[in-house]
Amino acid sequence: MDFFDTADSLAPMYLTYSGLIRHDEREEQPYQMYMPVVDQTVAGKSIYDVLTRGQEMIGTLLMERVMDHEELPEPEEILPLGDADEMATFINVELDRFKHLIAPKKTVIYPMSALKQPKQLLSQVYDFQPVFITEDGIGRYVVVSMKDYDMFQNTIGMMLDKQDIADALDDV
């Protein structure tokens, strides 16, 4: 069975682990969540923020274990006991969201007609893994993840800022 083939994979789609969330408004990022399964803590500005960051960290670390041929930790069914100022929670990690981190990169090209089945097309889009759309056999469009789009926009913005600075220095 191939770990990368969802239909044949023996790995579950979701794994659930526990975490302890603490709030300290004196901190710049007032929420912290400790995740015993990876013995790590993440910080954020909201509960949603730490849950999202926790999912990302656990998912990434689980993929490292897969690459190292290590067993994945057993899912947890019992919340840990925390201190009075801690809130216990579960963190659901969708493994399919992280498989692209270790899967071989491939070029994915679809004809325009693939847009009739958007779920199938979008299931191929990952961070750093765009999907190319052709029209009459000629590459016309690219579908990228929001994370990649933000990265591209930030890069363009930085380049434009550098050019503005260079132009301003030339005027001096």
Residue 66: the pLDDT is: 82
Kind plus residue range of the DSSP H or E element containing 90: strand 86-94
pLDDT greater than 70 at residue 6: no
pLDDT greater than 50 at residue 1: no
Distance from C-alpha of 155 to C-alpha of 162, rounded to nearest angstrom: 11
Nearest to 19 by CA among 3, 4, 1, 38: 38
Distance from C-alpha of 74 to C-alpha of 17, rounded to nearest angstrom: 8
Distance from C-alpha of 16 to C-alpha of 78, rounded to nearest angstrom: 10
Write out pLDDT tens, residues 8-56.
555 557 889 999 999 998 989 999 999 999 999 999 999 999 999 999 8
Cβ atoms of 97 and 59 closer than 8 Å:
yes
Please state the rounded mean pLDDT for residues 100-111.
78
User: What is the average pLDDT value for the chain, to the nearest integer?
Assistant: 84
Please state the rounded mean pLDDT for residues 126-151.
88
Residue 69 DSSP class: T
What pTM did the predictor assign? 0.57
Cβ atoms of 19 and 91 closer than 8 Å:
yes
Please state the rounded mean pLDDT for residues 1-12.
49
